[in-house]
Amino acid sequence: MDGSAQLPPPAPVGITELKNNFASIAKRVHDTSMPCTVLKQGRAYVAIVPVDPGYRAKGKYACNQYTRVLRRLFTFCRNAHDQKTTFVLRRRNEDYVAIAPLDPPDTGD
């Protein structure tokens, strides 16, 4: 093998697929439907999850649940793209924001 053989490009992840997958993950974690807005912004998908005041009142445990849900969402996106893809998770007072690139970053190799 000369190393020139490459795997086919990953299939694109549609917003509907991303949203449905997120809802499924959220249901398993919380046993309830979690509102999620998924937007296409430039070359990335952005998922916005409101912080439920009831969960916020429960403290660190609830925050960990939200983080776990978003990490599973990232795993889904990463598997659809490339293992090298990096994601951004940001918590604001009113919500969590997950950013998943449409394309794997250019590693230059």
The arithmetic mean of pLDDT across residues 35-61, rounded, is 59
Q: How confident is the model at residue 74 (pLDDT cuts 50, 70, 90)?
A: low
pLDDT at 93 over 50: yes
Domain positions in the chain are 15-101
pLDDT at 15 over 60: no
Closest Cα to residue 32, out of 66, 59, 6?
A: 66
pLDDT at 105 over 50: no
- In CATH terms, the fold of domain 15-101 is NADH Oxidase (3.40.109)
User: pTM above 0.85?
Assistant: no
Q: How confident is the model at residue 32 (pLDDT cuts 50, 70, 90)?
A: very low
pLDDT at 77 over 50: yes
Can you tell me whether residue 81 is helix, strand or coil?
Answer: coil
Q: How confident is the model at residue 58 (pLDDT cuts 50, 70, 90)?
A: low
Q: Determine contact, residues 19/38, Cβ cutoff 8 Å.
A: yes
